[in-house]
Amino acid sequence: MKNLNRVLYVSLFITFFLIVYLKVQSSHLDSWITLVIFAGLLLNSFFTILILFLVSRIQKNIKDSIADIREAASKVAKASLLLSHQSQKQKQSSESISVLFHESLKALNEINQLSAKNKSETFEANTEIIEGKNSALESRTTLEKVQNEIQNLVNDSEKIQEITSFIDDISFKTNLLSLNAAVEAARAGEHGKGFAVVADAVRDLAQQSSSSTKKIRDIIDNVVDKSKKSANHLEESHLQIQNMISHIDLSVKRSGLILDSSESQLLQLNTANDSLHNIESESLNNENLAKKTSDISKQLSQQASVFEEKILNLSELTGIEFETLKHLNYLQKARILAADCAKIISTEIQKNEFTLSELLEFNYIEIKDFNIKSLGYLFDVSKVPLSGFSPKKYFTNYDSKIDLKLQPLFDNFLKDNSEFLFALPVDLNAYAPIHNAKFCKAWTNDPQKDLIGNRVKRFFNDNMTFLKNTRVGLLSDDSKIPSFIDSRSQLRELNCQLHQNRMSEKKYLIQTYLRDTGEIATNLSVPIFVFGERYGTVVVCWVENH
């Protein structure tokens, strides 16, 4: 578009020059020819001015339209990022809810099993109580029979007492009779001696009968007394059994209520179980929906970034610099910064501080234990635990040789361009050997403060958007590149563009993403080539409303 404008302006200048020349030479030319040429030149001037006007209007319309489109794309990118972030949170919540559902379901199943077991045991206990009641009823019947038998025994003993009293009375009378007989025998003298012997025998027999009858009466009295006591004890036992039967009846009633309650509880638990299964199903649906929404949001964000790149390409081709797009200017600054960064690294290699192969190796050593103190030249490490940093920090074969030389370059860039949030170099694994001074603050051991204030010598490959920025221009389908590169041979096998040429050095990528600090930011990345080999990327970042 710029070239077209230049051609039109040159054409218009030539036309005016010819008009002036024609006017000067008009005395030497035929008037008709002069008139035709003059008219043609005027007509050419008119059309040239008209085309310039139309081109200007077209440029303005294109500029306004693409500015609107770019603004809409930016809004779509931001909205998609927020939507993706919310979808991720929703997915995490759904996963947490799903875990809770599984735990609740497990607990509910255990309660269900316990309730079923309680119901079974209650039913068995109820059966045993009823059997106990039947046994108690049988015992009561048997006790009543024993009471009746004892009462009969008491009655019979009383009759025996009457008989023994009668026998005792006969014995008493027989004894009196024998005494009278003895008296009469004594009066008879010699003739009554034989009768006296019989009277003495009868008296002895009456006395023995009286003694035996007394013993029998004593035994019967003892039996009657004990029988009455037994009868009293049996009566008390009868009352106790009757009381026990009443309690058993109450227990049976309560067991019935417990059985009914257990049955109702089991039904409610089964209903709750079904409800939990339904909720779990809905939760899984929400989780899948959140995942799909997140994927779609990421695709929208990527499409917005691609669209923004196309706009920049169009801007470079047409020469139209859109007022709402500062990206062309940012792109030029980023390329200059990448070139200056490459010069510093190349200089250190030429000084034999390290080799090109050491720079291009993916060799990282975690900074922990005794290595922590060796990082003290960048920031205060006195509060770093021996276990190391979180997120982890790493040394390489070259970082300590270039970090203090690169930091002023990137800090001055931020100083001269206050619209940028940060600017840093990273390798193809998104490892940052150095960061801006404002991100190299003293380690506080406060995770939130250190996440924001100390971001040097760590990987940023936890964010796929940022990782995509670091690998700009390597491969058209960068999803084939592993998330962590172990060696350059992996990249060669994928036919990645690792050598510098006119195409590779023109590559760049603009993406809007959600930082781990919670900000929505835009990254612009351009490749860094050292001695014609791809080392990494310069990434500059800004917030649109910064």
**Domains of the chain by start residue, with CATH:** 92-291 (1.10.287.950), 326-542 (3.30.450.20)
- 510, 308 Cβ separation under 8 angstroms: yes
List the one residue out of 313, 297, 303, 301 whose CA is nearest residue 66: 313
- The CB-side HSE value for 442 (13 A sphere, CA atoms) comes to 4
CB neighbour list of residue 5: distance below 8 Å, 6 or more residues apart = 52, 55, 319
Distance CA 68, CA 62 (A): 10
Residues present in the chain in total: 546
Q: Do the bridges between strand 420-427 and strand 533-542 make them parallel or antiparallel, or are there none, so unpaired? A: antiparallel
Distance CA 512, CA 541 (A): 9
The burial of 421, by beta-carbon neighbours within 10 Å (0-12 exposed, 13-18 middle, 19 or more buried), is given as buried
The pTM of the full predicted model, rounded to 2 decimals, is: 0.53
Proportion of the chain in helix, strand, coil states, percent, rounded to 5: 75, 10, 20
- 540, 510 Cβ separation under 8 angstroms: no
Distance CA 40, CA 420 (A): 55
Distance CA 382, CA 172 (A): 127
CA-based R_g, the chain, Å: 59
CB neighbour list of residue 388: distance below 8 Å, 6 or more residues apart = 366, 367, 368, 369, 372
Q: What dihedral do alpha carbons 423, 428, 429, 430 form, nearest 10°?
A: 10
Q: Do the bridges between strand 509-514 and strand 520-530 make them parallel or antiparallel, or are there none, so unpaired? A: antiparallel
Q: How far is CA 381 from CA 110, 352, 411, in A?
A: 52, 29, 22
Q: What is the DSSP letter of 457?
A: S
How much is the pLDDT for 127?
Answer: 72
Whether the bond into 425 is cis, omega within 30 of 0: no
Listed as ranges, residues in the chain with pLDDT below 50 are: 320-324, 546
Backbone dihedral region for residue 430 (phi beyond 0: left; psi -120 to 50: alpha; all else: beta): left
How much is the pLDDT for 222?
Answer: 76
Distance CA 372, CA 390 (A): 13
Distance CA 317, CA 310 (A): 10
The burial of 230, by beta-carbon neighbours within 10 Å (0-12 exposed, 13-18 middle, 19 or more buried), is given as middle
The burial of 8, by beta-carbon neighbours within 10 Å (0-12 exposed, 13-18 middle, 19 or more buried), is given as middle
How much is the pLDDT for 46?
Answer: 61
* Direct distance between the N- and C-terminal alpha carbons of the chain, in angstroms, rounded to an integer: 32
